[in-house]
Structure 1
């Protein structure tokens, strides 16, 4: 049987993909039982897909050196922290979804930043009681205690084979020797220049040659190289105590922030149980709170499973998926937060019975208006956040998303460290009912408290059927969830990894009540039909996201990677398994 095309937007891919798609019939689906990761066979090699070629090469190099997918993840994460300061870094945090082939265990390593004790809701209000966006988005008050360094040490020591001095060596070398500035880095700096140049540590890094970074110039970060060397030599003590910690604490204090040595030294990653659900014969393993992604993905797909999407026209497929997104994002706003601080009704939100009740509220031909309809489109996350996907020949898997939040995070580099601090405090509901930088609001479940982790949309995910195993994830702020949703639907439609990475994107997040679409993702007739149903449509937003994915086709015994063509710096590559000695 040939694959069924279910994705509502597949028609508007490139000419080559259109030809591929148009040749496919739409047969009736025979449901297949979902399954967990198979231990019966292994992939025929390794595959790495990241947002920068230098990071992909570093990951493959760890495999060549006898490391596993987890060593590759440390190397990739470290290099991305150097070459993508616009997106992530050791001054930020991330989520790592791991599959350990030897034990058969899936684990979610939560390296999300945490709130310092000083970050009370009142601290982020101006004299009129409104949200002070300068404080929530810029400088030391916007930063949570970083989690990424602790994650790198934790993963290397507990799951890797290689020492940190080996897996962090590529990042140290690139930070010291430099790398060519690319257009995204230059443009992002220009958009944040006024903020970044407030801080002397930032000026020392990005204005070292007297002017802002320009495409083609070599950006060197010797102080960051030294910080990474300390982590490689001393583990978590190389960042959270000692020389680096002293400099970070001094920088935060100098700019008016309030962190304590105890808060910094006390940071710990959390190992959490991933969420799991089934969809059309796929077993999906994904992110638990404080990520909102797994719950939302399950809710959307559970709702949508009540329709045979393949039999619907493009407008009605988009309508159904939009209505499912609308309901899932509403629940995200109301219920989700750090599970160490609030009780999240995960079982209810992910249940098929709950989805059936929500499905009953969807009119097949009419939009359901969201509450408090605002008049502005949802803000885009530009180039912040990064994702990478890794698979090795033993069957170990890594799906990891890491971030500093907005472009260049808080804009503040701690002098003497090269560490660019995040601005993740904006992901809390700092003022209940007030939208953050991505147009997403929240309430008490996501209010800041000392040591609490802010809610995230990062959604690293595995999906497996009897024939295929895929690893995927993406950046994109609140749009991460719908990017990963698009990827799941693309794999369900039988597409390749590269085709999945290229799929056009449509998004709805409850509020603002508007369907956002990339140029060409919805044709004029579809937009007209959606508007006739009562939807508001913005069909010409700039392209967004940067999906990275790898997959193993168990039928053909092949592995492949897909890197989002929206990002010309990305790279997906494979490495054959070494031949066994006779």
Structure 2
């Protein structure tokens, strides 16, 4: 289970960043966190995250009278300390909020944006897209971070506490430290070659021997504690203007390479003006229905809400009670294939492209698109996009796009990072919040002295074969790259039923989708639905689906293989969290039981 103990050992500052002297056992005065459990049922509010300290921070905020938004931001800021490879103030996210008093769902889009000076040509050399390894670890891959403004916007509009208040648990964790567990160690190990090339990253995340801090040692982040304190005292302008902003821009434009590093690291073009003009946007959700349930998800530039809606609209004509589980999974995989074909062809930042939202949500379009579903046998080639444009009404039409030369990183790399937070409170407010840096460890660069990694979200743009070819998710100045983050709220007859979300790149959509299918169609309790083996069909050129080893060993996989389905072993997919709301007013909080080391679920007032 994730990181049980807080400790107070001495810290060691090396070079431009700060690090932690490893210890073999925690201090006698170490603060103990509650033992993590993946499932809890009770009243008064609930929280589920990947980390016991983040969940505890959310519960403590709720117990002190805060609401679900306050709790979600507190949890996210703690995850910036304990899960820094997945979430933090150097990144962004999408927050879905149910306001119980108004019976209304809103979303807060704080997705990173491309700097105004970032032209598409920066991603090409000699007529071809830049090598991915050069792009991901570069200043060019960094989008303007939106997390802090997103937190502040959510708190100002819908919270009950100030940003300064909800940052206090994260400040304590950063100062007092936490025990390195196997998950944190492995995440560092995956990044060790990159970190060695940057003085600030090596000083924070590697020991004096240039290796990851060992399991059981105590990790502190005084630089991030300082940053959070500065923000608590001065608000978000501290981050988006002034000395911290200048340090961030310097890191992007003059990467802190160590002398003698042989890595090619391209500088970025972000400027102070990009930080100063960033906005977190409040948008309406994408709303659809499935078998009498109402689903609220994120709209563009996230592709999660629309892709899930189309998948389930295509599937709705099937009756799971009259089919074997393998037969129903066959139809689900084929529906997901078609939905992803449309996602790739039509969805991008709505400020830059005309996304046919109403067409993709149209039941008439789904009925027409259903004719493309394969029958008894699996498809053996990637599906072509459909044509939702005639179902758009008066919305300006878009055009389907050709497949890019290089697809977005989250579509192809089976990225297992990003993280999801779910919270609720005694008043009935609910938050489903997914936040990210994009890849594990973002672009690999810690802002010197401030203790946080920068994102590599610009790799979430698709790169067409030529620099001037059209594509809805091609890079452009000020544009937000398409995302697969899929926070979801599910209602029945106006009452909340589920809050759900997951990390996992483009597999986020299929993880949320399969969990929903397990729960609503197969009748599995939420904890079982969330833990069940997963399979992900995203319209890959090979037509194969990615699957977990446990799924590959299942009878369903054998039956699907007999129907022509091909699978590749993807290892673990996602690490979801969710809340299930019961008619008696209790809530069951559920966290991932084992993937990524398992998570933590708690409630304010447990019931037996």
**Shorter-normalised TM range:** 0.7 to 0.9
Q: Distance in 2 between matches of 1:490 and 1:50?
A: 21
Residue of structure 2 in register with 1:485 after alignment: 513
* TM-score, structure 1 normalization: 0.86
Q: Secondary structure at the match of 1:419?
A: coil
Offset, 1:164? 1.9
Aligned partner of 2:341 among 317, 325, 330: 330
Distance 1:123 1:535 in 2: 39
284-293 vs 493-502, which deviates more? 493-502
How far did 1:414 drift?
1.3
Distance 2:97 2:555 in 1: 43
Query: C-alpha displacement at 1:177, in angstroms?
Result: 1.7
In structure 2, the residue matched to 1:568 is 597
Given candidates 474, 478, 481, the residue that maps to 2:502 is 474
- What is the CA deviation profile of residues 350-401 of structure 1, one whole-angstrom value per residue up to 9, with x for unaligned ones? 1111111111122321223334999xxx855354100011111101010000
Partner of 1:46: 45
TM-score by length of 2: 0.82
For 1:136-177, what per-residue CA distance to the aligned partner results, in whole angstroms no more than 9, with x for missing partners?
Answer: 211211110101011111122222112222200011111122
CA distance in 2, matches of 1:445, 1:302: 23
Q: Counterpart of 1:5?
A: none
Report the 3-state secondary structure (helix = DSSP H, G, I; strand = E; otherwise coil) of the residue aligned with 1:77: helix
Q: 2:58 maps to which residue? A: 59
Partners of 1:503 and 1:432 in 2: how far apart? 39
Q: Which of 545, 551, 554 matches 2:574?
A: 545
1:521 deviates by 1.7
SS state at 1:141 partner: coil
Deviation at 1:468, TM superposition (A): 5.6
410, 414, 434: which is aligned to 2:443?
Answer: 410
Matched-pair contact (CA < 8 Å) for 1:387–1:473: yes
Report the count of equivalent residues. Answer: 525
Correspondence 1:346 to 2:357: yes
Pairing 1:290–2:301 present: yes
1:516 equivalent in alignment to 2:546? yes
SS at match of 1:109: strand
Given candidates 477, 502, 505, the residue that maps to 2:534 is 505
Taking the aligned partners of 1:525 and 1:62, their CA distance within structure 2 comes to: 45
State the Cα distance separating 1:209 from its structure 2 match: 4.6
Residues 124 and 130 of structure 2 are in contact (CA less than 8 Å); yes or no, is this contact kept in structure 1?
Answer: yes
CA deviation after TM superposition for structure 1 residue 480, in Å: 0.4
2:563 matches 1:533: yes
1:420-431 aligned at under 5 Å gives the runs 420-431=453-464
Query: CA 1:388 to 1:142, structure 2 compared with 1: closer, same or farther past 3 Å?
Result: same
Distance 2:233 2:321 in 1: 55
Decide whether the 8 Å contact of 1:114 with 1:145 is kept in 2.
Answer: yes
1:480 alignment partner, SS class: helix
Distance in 2, matches of 1:544 and 1:363, equals 25
What per-residue deviation string (whole Å, max 9, x for no partner) do you get for residues 244-274 of structure 1?
1011112222122221111011111011100
- Aligned match of 1:196: 195
Match of 1:321 among 329, 332, 347: 332
1:135 and 1:141 in contact (8 A); partners too: no
Range with greater deviation from structure 2 (507-516 or 70-79): 507-516
Provide the residue aligned with 2:525 in structure 1: 496
8 Å Cα contact 2:70-2:159 kept in structure 1: yes
Q: Is the 8 A contact 1:497 1:551 kept in 2?
A: yes
Measure the CA separation in 2 of the matches of 1:152 and 1:333. Answer: 29
CA contact (8 A) 2:446 2:453 kept: yes
- CA distance in 1 between counterparts of 2:247 and 2:540 reads 41
Change (3 A) 1:95 1:522: same
| Aligned equivalents of 1:431, 1:352: Cα separation in 2 | 31
Change (3 A) 1:353 1:170: same
1:45-444 paired onto structure 2 within 5 Å: 45-127=44-126, 129-207=128-206, 209-210=208-209, 211-255=211-255, 256-371=267-382, 379=412, 381-432=414-465, 444=471
Deviations 1:456-503 (A, max 9, x none): 000000001247621100001000001111122233144333223212
What SS does the corresponding residue of 1:267 show, helix, strand or coil?
coil
- Asked if the contact 1:432–1:447 (Cα under 8 Å) also holds between the matched residues in 2, the reply is no
C-alpha distance in 2 between matches for 1:477 and 1:487: 16
Instruction: Give CA-to-partner distance per residue, 1:100-125, whole Å, 9 cap, x none.
Output: 12222211100100001232222122
Q: 1:263 to 1:353 in 2, by over 3 A?
A: same
